[in-house]
Amino acid sequence: MKNKILLSLFFTSFISSASANEEIIRNSYFNYIGTLEKTYTSQADRQIELTIILDLESKWADDQIMNRELEKTQRSLGDCGIGINKVEFIQVTLPQKFKDQVLVNNPYLGMPEVPIGLEGIPERKLLGFLFQKIKPYGSAFAINLSSVIRSERTTQFPSYRPLLGTFWISEENSVHTNVPMADATYSTLAHEIVHIMGDLGHLENNTTRNLMGGSDIAGKNYSLTEAQCEAIMNHFF
C-alpha cells in the first residue's frame, strides 16, 4: 500500500570537511570548490541520502531551481513512504577535459562518462552529476543494475559498472517544459533517481500519467504505482 506523505523542505546547511571528498579532489575531470550539506525534515518511514556533484557554472546552481526539483522529488518518493533527509552537494567547476570527454562519440570505447568514473568518484548508493549543457541534445540518464548487466553481455565494449548508481543530468532538463508530455509536477531528477532505486525502466503504454512514463500518449507526472513502490522497496532497502 502506498503511503502518501507530504514532506517539508526546511533545512539547515553547513560547509563540511573536504576530506570526505578526496575522490573528486583527485579527479582531474573536476575542479573541486567545496562541499555543502543540507538536511531536510521528513516524516517518511524510510529515509535516503543523496550526493550530488554540482557544476557551479550551470543553472542547477540556482537555489530556486534546485529546491524546486528536490521538492518534486520528495513528492514522488513520498508516494512510496520515502523521504530525502540529507543532500551532500560537492561543488565543482568543469575543466575543458570534462567537456571534451563527454563529447567523445566512439561506441567501441563505451560510454564517454566511464573514464570519468574510473578516475575516482565517491562510493554512494545514489550519486548525481548535475552540470551545464555540453552535448547538443543534453544529458539525462541513470545507470542502474540492469544497465550494467546489459553492458556486460559482451566483452567487446567497456562495462558500465564504474558508473553504477550514478545519474547524469544537464541543465536544460532542470525544467519540465523541456521534457515531452511532462506536466508541471514532473522532475527529471526524480525520474533518474527512481531508475536506480527501483532498477526500473520506462513504463510504456500506460493509461495514466506516471513519473517513469516513456513515449506513450498518457504523459509524465510525479506519481508512482504500487508496483513501482514495491520494486523500490525490494531493490534499494
In a domain, 17, yes or no: yes
Q: Specify the pLDDT at position 4.
A: 45
In a domain, 200, yes or no: yes
Q: Specify the pLDDT at position 3.
A: 47
In a domain, 147, yes or no: yes
* CA 192 – CA 167 distance, rounded (Å): 6
Question: Mean pLDDT, consecutive 10-residue segments, the chain of 237 residues?
Answer: 47 55 95 95 92 98 98 97 97 98 92 97 96 95 98 91 98 96 97 98 88 86 97 98
> Is-above-0.85 flag for pTM?
yes
Contact between residue 200 and residue 144 where contact means Cβ atoms under 8 Å apart:
yes
* CA 54 – CA 50 distance, rounded (Å): 12
In a domain, 190, yes or no: yes
* CA 47 – CA 83 distance, rounded (Å): 5
Question: What is the domain count for the chain?
Answer: 1
In a domain, 114, yes or no: yes
In a domain, 4, yes or no: no
Q: Specify the pLDDT at position 19.
A: 54
In a domain, 211, yes or no: yes
Residue 187 belongs to what domain range? 11-236
Any idea what the Cα angle at residue 72 is, between residues 71 and 74, rounded to 5°? 65
Q: Specify the pLDDT at position 5.
A: 45
In a domain, 2, yes or no: no
Look up the CATH number of the domain holding residue 81.
3.40.390.10
